[in-house]
């Protein structure tokens, strides 16, 4: 089975979801390490409580995106990771050839719309509502070095309801993320064997 690294910048909710999906046999992967972009990430303690070691690689300690990215990849490689899952990761990653096609991301919108620099979290939900969209959702895609750009591996739509606030929409999209990411990762890993 493929060995997985979970990259987090915040609470680690998607990482915990994937960790449990692996342990319950829904995803044919073995989580080996968490990588956090800041020592302030709330997900560090949550993943460590579940027995997953976490390495902090702070962006502030590296002069360029490339140097930071390389430090992250080296931490994942030291743990023996074959595949990286971005789980609320908020830092720019430069993708070297050796990691091309092996990094997945979850985005809280239906790409290619509502993606790109600055489009994360509540910014996406506010933009969807401001545009008057009838639906939103989540997207899992491969990471290719451009923000929210790589090959789409799966979408899951949710309706935008009359009177929705960004917080209302966020709750439904987050539930979609929890369903979509394990299934998309499982399908991706099955194709790698």
Beta bridge partners of 31: 4
pLDDT digits (tens, 9 = 90+) for 3-55: 999 999 999 999 999 999 999 999 999 999 999 999 999 999 999 999 999 99
Question: Residue 106: which region, alpha, beta or left (left: phi > 0; alpha: psi -120 to 50)?
Answer: beta
pLDDT digits (tens, 9 = 90+) for 63-122: 999 999 999 999 999 999 999 999 999 999 999 999 999 999 999 999 999 999 999 999
Fold of 2-192: Rossmann fold (3.40.50)
Q: Would you list the domain boundaries of the chain? A: 2-192
Q: Catalytic positions, please?
A: 107
Q: What is the pTM of this model?
A: 0.96
Tokens of 91: 């830092």
pLDDT band at 173 (very low <50, low <70, confident <90, very high): very high
Q: Does residue 193 have a pLDDT over 90?
A: no
């Amino acid at each position: 089975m493929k060995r997985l690294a979970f990259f987090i910048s915040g609470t680690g909710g998607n990482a915990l979801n994937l960790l449990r999906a692996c342990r319950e046999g829904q995803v044919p992967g073995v989580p080996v390490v968490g990588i956090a972009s800041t020592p302030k990430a709330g997900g560090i303690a949550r993943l460590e409580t579940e027995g997953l070691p976490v390495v902090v690689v702070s962006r502030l300690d590296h002069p360029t995106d490339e140097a930071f990215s390389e430090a992250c990849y080296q931490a994942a490689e030291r743990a023996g990771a074959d595949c990286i899952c971005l789980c609320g990761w908020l830092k720019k990653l430069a993708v070297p050839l050796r990691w091309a096609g092996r990094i997945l991301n979850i985005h809280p919108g239906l790409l290619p719309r509502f993606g790109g620099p600055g489009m994360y979290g509540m910014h996406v939900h506010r933009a969807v509502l401001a545009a008057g969209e009838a639906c939103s959702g989540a997207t899992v895609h491969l990471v290719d070095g451009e923000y929210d750009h790589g090959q789409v591996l799966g979408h899951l739509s949710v309706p935008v309801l009359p009177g929705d606030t960004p917080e209302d929409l966020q709750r439904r999209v987050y539930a979609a993320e929890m369903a979509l990411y394990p299934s998309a990762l499982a399908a991706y890993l099955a194709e790698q064997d």
